[in-house]
Amino acid sequence: MLILVVNCGSSSLKYTVFEGERELTSGLIEKIGEKISAFSCKVGSEKKTLPDQPVADHEQAIALMMDQMIKDGIIRQPADIFAVGHRVVHGGPNYTDAALVDEAVRNNAIAKELAPLHYPNYIGIEACVKMMPQTPQVAVFDTAFHQTMPPKAYVYALPYRFYTDYKIRKYGFHGTSHKYVSRRAAELMKKSAKSVNVITLHLGNGSSLAAVQGGRCVDTSMGLTPLAGVVMGSRTGDMDPAIVPFIMELEHLTPAQMDKLMNKESGVLGLSGVSNDLREVIAQAETGNERARLALDVFAYSIQKYIGAYHVVVGGAQALVFTAGIGEKSPYLRELICRGLKGIGVKLDPVKNKKNISREAAIHARGSKIQVWVVPTREEYMIAAESLRVIQAAGIELPLEPEKTGITRKPAAAAKRKK
């Protein structure tokens, strides 16, 4: 029983096919809509780069992905795929959980208006529905896990009508990742998710933190859009909102130009002038580049402040959970962040921190008042598992007995698959 996971970005398509817990193939088509697109994929353990060719739009990209999967012997025809799980960045205010794709999901006007950049998620859904009209499709929303936040955490102090009329509020993102790593961390701590309070740190190209109390998200750092919260590779994170009209007037910028400045030219890249890739910025800081050093300090400081706040919000955190590119792979930045947390009793074990890259591990020192964990995220697998759960709940018949599908929602199973 095959489950296809699709993630359509503004100019890219990422996909993975799962059979049970096993990843049969995955691929990435980039530069969709440009003159020449790039297509790379992995079949089993073999990596391939396919010849460059123009890919006009996401519909064509989905057709290309299907052709490749047929050539690679993964499927004979699109109908061999039992279900498709779509990563959808914005679900708007109406989705507290993943949902079977129906008219309401396809016409989710609020979410499309709130996140125009992520409109391609919905284009991907349309293309798959057209190609596989009989195949159940599920939308797994990045915002769903954060829907348990109380109003005091998600309402902005604007005139209230902006919330009621336009649904302008905090939504939060990376929800699939925060949900998975918070649950997996509880398992590793040998506790039930309900009995622990954790702060999850998804630190990648985009970064966000979540305050998770007894398994439920009570606050998160991103907002209406992924621009809010901590400083990121090329995004400002939080700043005085009055700066926005001020700069727009100073430099005669349109809203779109200002949006680009804050999303693509700011953050660690804007401060350091080096890169949005933290590896390059660290290398520069180590050779004495002062601006690179400052950018890293500002990045770490913004995260430390959120940890302090969320420690209070959850009523005392038992663990910090690092995940995503930076969280999983950078002992340097984990150390820099934790160095500023002595006030709440966090102590890292330097050897464990250095040794554990991209694998599950506790990295705190003995006597640390808060545990510190590294838990690699498994967003694609979670999307497959959530899709199967929604399909079963909707009463759709599975081709196999549920226990023989090989997919379980238990985070432990997902983690085992990667080992």
Closer residue to ligand ADP in complex, CB, 374/388 = 374
* From candidates 146, 178, 235, 329, binder to ligand ADP by CB under 6 A: 329
Nearest approach in angstroms of CB 324 to ligand ADP is: 4
- What binding mask, one character per residue, do residues 209-238 give for ligand ADP by CB under 6 A, x or -? ------------------------x-----
Q: Report residue 168 as tokens.
A: 């302008």
- Phi/psi of residue 152, each to 5°? -65, -20
The DSSP bridge partners found for residue 140 are 87
Closer residue to ligand ADP in complex, CB, 99/326 = 326
Q: What is the number of other CB atoms lying within 10 angstroms of the CB of residue 416?
A: 11
Stretch that binds ligand ADP, among 76-84, 239-247, 284-292, 319-327 (CB under 6 A): 319-327
- The residue of the chain with the least Cβ separation from ligand ADP equals 325
What number of chain residues touch ligand ADP (CB under 6 A)?
14
Closer residue to ligand ADP in complex, CB, 101/199 = 199
Closer residue to ligand ADP in complex, CB, 210/326 = 326
Stretch that binds ligand ADP, among 17-25, 127-135, 186-194, 277-285 (CB under 6 A): 277-285
Q: Does 293 bind ligand ADP (CB under 6 A)?
A: no
Q: Strand order of the sheet with strand 216-220? A: 216-220, 207-213, 197-203, 319-323, 371-374, 361-362
* From candidates 279, 293, 347, 352, binder to ligand ADP by CB under 6 A: 279
Q: Round to whole Å and give the CA distance between 16 and 268.
A: 31
Q: Round to whole Å and give the CA distance between 56 and 53.
A: 10
Q: Does 296 bind ligand ADP (CB under 6 A)?
A: no
Closer residue to ligand ADP in complex, CB, 136/331 = 331
Are 122 and 106 spatial neighbours (Cβ–Cβ below 8 Å)? yes
Closer residue to ligand ADP in complex, CB, 74/140 = 140
Q: Does 78 bind ligand ADP (CB under 6 A)?
A: no
181-210 binders of ligand ADP (CB under 6 A)? 204-206
Q: Round to whole Å and give the CA distance between 6 and 85.
A: 6
* From candidates 326, 346, 361, 385, binder to ligand ADP by CB under 6 A: 326
Element holding 155 (H helix, E strand): none
Nearest approach in angstroms of CB 203 to ligand ADP is: 7
Nearest approach in angstroms of CB 277 to ligand ADP is: 4
Compute the radius of gyration of the chain from its Cα atoms.
21
Q: Round to whole Å and give the CA distance between 374 and 320.
A: 9
Q: What is the set of active-site residues?
A: 142
Q: Does 114 bind ligand ADP (CB under 6 A)?
A: no
Residue with tokens 């962040």: 337
Q: Round to whole Å and give the CA distance between 228 and 147.
A: 17
Nearest approach in angstroms of CB 264 to ligand ADP is: 13
| 72: Cα separation from own chain's centroid | 28
Are 225 and 115 spatial neighbours (Cβ–Cβ below 8 Å)? yes
Q: Does 335 bind ligand ADP (CB under 6 A)?
A: no
Nearest approach in angstroms of CB 370 to ligand ADP is: 23
Nearest approach in angstroms of CB 381 to ligand ADP is: 15
Q: Residues 6 or more apart from 399 whose CB is under 8 A from it?
A: 1, 82
Closer residue to ligand ADP in complex, CB, 10/148 = 10
Element holding 99 (H helix, E strand): strand 99-100
Q: Round to whole Å and give the CA distance between 308 and 313.
A: 9
Are 333 and 296 spatial neighbours (Cβ–Cβ below 8 Å)? yes
Q: Does 383 bind ligand ADP (CB under 6 A)?
A: no
Residue with tokens 């799980």: 85
Q: Which residues bind ligand ADP (CB under 6 A)?
A: 204-206, 233, 277-279, 282, 324-326, 329-330, 333
